[in-house]
Amino acid sequence: MAENSAAAGLSVGIIMDGNGRWAKKRGLPRTAGHKKGADVFDDITRYANEIGVRAITYYAFSSENWSRPKDEVDAIMDLFGQSLKRLYKYRGENNRVVFLGDRTPLRPAHQDMMNEIEHDTSTRTGMILNIAVNYGGRQELLRAARQIASEVAAGTLAETAIDEAAIEERLYTKGQPMPDFILRTSGEQRISNFLLWQSAYSELVFTDVLWPDFTRNDFDAAVREFRGRDRRYGGV
C-alpha cells in the first residue's frame, strides 16, 4: 500500500494553525483547541507512516510562541509532555524521531525524554518524524553561522570550505530530504519562520481547514494539490 500511495517517499512540513479559532467557534478555551490539535497530530502521524511518507515535520511551538499568555504556554507544554509519553509507544515502529529547535528553555523532564527518544530511534530507517519546538528558522541559521565561525576561528574549517552543504550539515535537519511541500492550515498564507533554508524549493499548500478539524482526507487532498504542481527548481 505504502509503495502505491501518492505520498510515498515525500517529505512534508506542516504548520498546524487554527487551534485557537476552532475553540473560539465552540465557545471553548483556546487550550481545548490545542488538545484536539494534539489528537490530530497523532492521527496524521500514524496515517503518514502508513502511506509511506518519508519525513514529516510539524511546527509545534515557535520561538515566538512564548509571548502567549502563561496559562496557554503551560497548557501547550503539558500537551507536548503527554505527546512525548505517547511517542515512547512508537518504539515498536520503525520511526526516527528528531526534535528541531533550542530545547534548553524547555522543562528538564521533557528534555530528558526528548534526548532519550531521539537516541533510541536514531538508527531507524522508517519515516522521520520531526517535531519543531521552540524552533525558529532564523535562529537555526544563526546557530549554524555561529558554529561555522567558531570552527573557522579554531582552524578546523577552512573559509573556502563554507558551502551550502556546510550549512546544511549544521541544521537540525542534517542529512534529511528537503520538504517537497509545506502545508499550512486555517487559511493563513505565511511561512512564519518555519524551515527557512529547507523550504527554498518547497511547494506551499494552504487549506482553510482549521488544524483540529484536519483529517486524513484533507492530507490526501494536500498531496493531490502538490502532485498537480509543476516543479522547475529555477529551470524551464
DSSP lists the bridge partners of residue 176 as none
- Nearest residue to ligand FPP by CB is 20
Closest CB 44 distance from ligand FPP, rounded Å: 11
Asked whether position 18 contacts ligand FPP by CB under 6 A, the answer is yes
Q: Residue 24 Cβ, how far from ligand FPP at the closest point, in Å?
A: 7
Distance CA 159, CA 163 (A): 9
What string marks each residue from 168 to 197 as x (binds ligand FPP by CB under 6 A) or -? ------------------x-----------
Q: In this chain, which of 7, 13, 34, 135 binds ligand FPP, going by CB under 6 A?
A: 34
Q: How far is the CB of 53 from ligand FPP (least distance, A)?
A: 16
Q: How far apart are CA 81 and CA 54, in angstroms?
A: 25
Strand order in the sheet with 128-135: 96-100, 128-135, 55-62, 11-15, 181-184, 203-206
Only segment of 74-82, 138-146, 150-158, 173-181 that touches ligand FPP (CB under 6 A): 74-82
Q: Is 60 in the site for ligand FPP (CB under 6 A)?
A: yes
**Residue (85 or 232) nearer to ligand FPP, CB:** 85
User: Which H or E run contains 55?
Assistant: strand 55-62
17 is a catalytic site residue: yes
CB of 215 to ligand FPP, least distance (A): 15
For ligand FPP, which stretch binds (CB under 6 A), given 77-85, 89-97, 101-109, 149-157? 77-85
Closest by CA position to 217, among listed 66, 52, 51, 60? 51
Tell me, yes or no, if 95 is annotated catalytic.
Answer: no
**73 neighbors 66 (Cβ within 8 angstroms):** yes
Closest by CA position to 106, among listed 85, 76, 129, 128: 76
Size of the site for ligand FPP (CB under 6 A): 20
**Where is 84: in which H helix or E strand?**
helix 70-88
Between 58 and 194, name the residue whose CB sits nearer to ligand FPP.
Answer: 58
Polymer length of the chain: 236
**Containing H/E element for 227?**
helix 216-227
Q: Which residue from 12, 55, 56, 76 is in contact with ligand FPP, where contact means CB under 6 A?
A: 76
The answer to whether residue 21 forms part of the interface with ligand FPP (CB under 6 A) is yes
Coil, helix or strand at residue 182: strand
Q: How far apart are CA 210 and CA 98, in angstroms?
A: 25
State which H helix or E strand residue 129 sits in.
Answer: strand 128-135
Does residue number 37 form part of the binding site for ligand FPP (CB under 6 A)?
A: yes
Contact positions vs ligand FPP (CB under 6 A): 16-21, 34, 37-38, 41, 58, 60-61, 65, 76, 79-80, 83, 131, 186
Active site residues: 17, 65
